[in-house]
Amino acid sequence: MRVTASAVSLNVDDVEASASFLKRHFGFAEAMAADGFVSLARPDVGFNVCYLRTGLKSLKPESLKTRRADGLIVAFVVDDIDAEYARIQAEGVKVLTPIETEPWGERYFQVADANGVIIQLVQWMHAPGQPEGVA
Protein backbone atom coordinates (compact mmCIF):
# COMPACT_ATOMS: atom_id res chain seq x y z
CA MET A 1 0.00 0.00 0.00
CA ARG A 2 1.15 3.51 -0.81
CA VAL A 3 -0.54 6.33 1.11
CA THR A 4 -0.64 9.56 -0.89
CA ALA A 5 -2.44 11.83 1.58
CA SER A 6 -4.19 11.73 4.93
CA ALA A 7 -6.98 13.58 6.70
CA VAL A 8 -9.00 13.57 9.87
CA SER A 9 -12.75 14.13 9.32
CA LEU A 10 -14.85 15.54 12.15
CA ASN A 11 -18.64 15.77 12.27
CA VAL A 12 -19.81 19.13 13.61
CA ASP A 13 -23.04 21.09 13.60
CA ASP A 14 -21.49 24.31 12.23
CA VAL A 15 -18.82 23.57 9.62
CA GLU A 16 -18.05 27.24 8.96
CA ALA A 17 -17.49 28.02 12.66
CA SER A 18 -14.90 25.26 13.05
CA ALA A 19 -13.23 26.07 9.73
CA SER A 20 -13.02 29.78 10.56
CA PHE A 21 -11.43 28.97 13.93
CA LEU A 22 -8.61 26.91 12.35
CA LYS A 23 -8.07 29.47 9.61
CA ARG A 24 -8.03 32.51 11.90
CA HIS A 25 -6.03 31.13 14.82
CA PHE A 26 -3.91 28.32 13.37
CA GLY A 27 -3.10 29.41 9.82
CA PHE A 28 -5.03 26.75 7.91
CA ALA A 29 -6.30 27.45 4.39
CA GLU A 30 -9.31 26.01 2.61
CA ALA A 31 -8.26 23.23 0.24
CA MET A 32 -11.78 22.39 -0.96
CA ALA A 33 -15.37 22.91 0.08
CA ALA A 34 -18.93 21.91 -0.79
CA ASP A 35 -22.30 22.14 0.94
CA GLY A 36 -21.74 20.80 4.46
CA PHE A 37 -18.06 20.03 3.92
CA VAL A 38 -14.72 21.79 4.10
CA SER A 39 -11.17 20.49 3.93
CA LEU A 40 -8.42 22.62 5.49
CA ALA A 41 -4.69 22.28 4.97
CA ARG A 42 -1.31 23.61 6.00
CA PRO A 43 1.78 22.50 4.08
CA ASP A 44 3.63 21.72 7.33
CA VAL A 45 0.96 19.60 9.04
CA GLY A 46 0.98 16.44 6.92
CA PHE A 47 -2.78 15.87 6.95
CA ASN A 48 -5.95 17.82 6.19
CA VAL A 49 -8.59 18.62 8.78
CA CYS A 50 -12.05 18.08 7.31
CA TYR A 51 -15.33 19.17 8.83
CA LEU A 52 -18.58 17.48 7.83
CA ARG A 53 -21.96 18.84 8.83
CA THR A 54 -23.75 16.44 11.19
CA GLY A 55 -26.66 14.82 9.37
CA LEU A 56 -25.13 15.22 5.90
CA LYS A 57 -26.97 12.85 3.54
CA SER A 58 -23.75 11.55 2.02
CA LEU A 59 -22.33 10.30 5.35
CA LYS A 60 -21.90 6.54 5.37
CA PRO A 61 -22.56 4.43 7.34
CA GLU A 62 -25.94 5.75 8.43
CA SER A 63 -24.87 5.79 12.10
CA LEU A 64 -22.41 8.64 11.37
CA LYS A 65 -25.25 11.05 10.60
CA THR A 66 -25.96 11.63 14.28
CA ARG A 67 -22.41 11.45 15.69
CA ARG A 68 -20.32 14.48 16.50
CA ALA A 69 -16.63 15.11 17.16
CA ASP A 70 -17.16 14.90 20.93
CA GLY A 71 -14.22 13.74 23.02
CA LEU A 72 -11.62 14.11 20.28
CA ILE A 73 -8.40 16.07 20.53
CA VAL A 74 -6.64 17.37 17.42
CA ALA A 75 -3.02 17.92 18.47
CA PHE A 76 -0.30 19.89 16.70
CA VAL A 77 3.34 19.76 17.81
CA VAL A 78 5.00 23.19 17.72
CA ASP A 79 8.51 24.57 18.26
CA ASP A 80 7.74 27.28 20.83
CA ILE A 81 4.73 26.44 23.00
CA ASP A 82 5.15 29.50 25.21
CA ALA A 83 5.04 31.87 22.22
CA GLU A 84 1.95 30.09 20.86
CA TYR A 85 0.26 30.32 24.26
CA ALA A 86 0.94 34.06 24.43
CA ARG A 87 -0.31 34.51 20.84
CA ILE A 88 -3.55 32.60 21.47
CA GLN A 89 -4.22 34.59 24.63
CA ALA A 90 -3.53 37.88 22.79
CA GLU A 91 -6.04 36.83 20.12
CA GLY A 92 -8.68 36.44 22.83
CA VAL A 93 -9.16 32.69 22.43
CA LYS A 94 -10.57 31.05 25.57
CA VAL A 95 -8.01 28.60 26.95
CA LEU A 96 -9.60 25.41 28.30
CA THR A 97 -6.47 23.88 29.80
CA PRO A 98 -3.76 26.38 30.76
CA ILE A 99 -0.22 25.57 29.74
CA GLU A 100 1.37 22.79 31.80
CA THR A 101 4.17 20.26 31.54
CA GLU A 102 3.61 16.57 32.12
CA PRO A 103 6.31 14.45 33.84
CA TRP A 104 6.97 12.62 30.55
CA GLY A 105 8.05 15.86 28.82
CA GLU A 106 4.88 17.01 27.05
CA ARG A 107 4.21 20.75 27.50
CA TYR A 108 0.79 21.68 26.18
CA PHE A 109 -2.39 23.73 26.35
CA GLN A 110 -5.89 23.26 24.95
CA VAL A 111 -8.55 25.44 23.34
CA ALA A 112 -11.89 24.58 21.73
CA ASP A 113 -13.70 25.86 18.68
CA ALA A 114 -17.39 26.85 18.58
CA ASN A 115 -18.41 23.19 18.10
CA GLY A 116 -16.35 21.99 21.07
CA VAL A 117 -13.56 20.40 19.02
CA ILE A 118 -10.46 20.44 21.24
CA ILE A 119 -7.27 21.78 19.66
CA GLN A 120 -4.12 20.98 21.63
CA LEU A 121 -0.73 22.52 20.95
CA VAL A 122 2.22 20.49 22.24
CA GLN A 123 5.96 20.92 22.57
CA TRP A 124 8.10 18.02 23.73
CA MET A 125 10.50 19.37 26.34
CA HIS A 126 12.35 16.05 26.45
CA ALA A 127 11.67 12.68 24.93
CA PRO A 128 9.59 10.29 27.07
CA GLY A 129 11.91 8.28 29.30
CA GLN A 130 14.79 10.73 28.77
CA PRO A 131 16.06 13.22 31.31
CA GLU A 132 15.23 16.88 30.81
CA GLY A 133 17.45 18.57 28.23
CA VAL A 134 17.52 15.49 25.98
CA ALA A 135 14.97 15.91 23.18
State the pTM of this model: 0.83
Instruction: For residue 16, give the CATH number of its domain.
Output: 3.10.180.10
Query: Does residue 99 fall inside a structural domain?
Result: yes
Q: How many domains does the chain have?
A: 1
Q: pLDDT tens for residues 69-102?
A: 777 889 999 999 999 999 999 999 999 999 999 9
Q: pLDDT tens for residues 118-130?
A: 999 999 997 656 6
- Nearest alpha-carbon partner for 53 in 71, 67, 73, 43: 67
Which residues are bridge partners to 130 per DSSP? none
How much is the pLDDT for 119?
95
CA dist list (Å): 120 to 57, 60, 96: 30, 28, 10
Which residues are bridge partners to 122 per DSSP? 77, 108
Question: What DSSP letter does each residue of 51-84 carry, written as one string?
Answer: EEETT-TT-SSGGGGG---TT-EEEEE-S-HHHH
- Residue 134 scores a pLDDT above 60: no
Query: Does residue 132 fall inside a structural domain?
Result: no
Which residues are bridge partners to 53 per DSSP? 12
Domain hosting 54: range is: 6-124
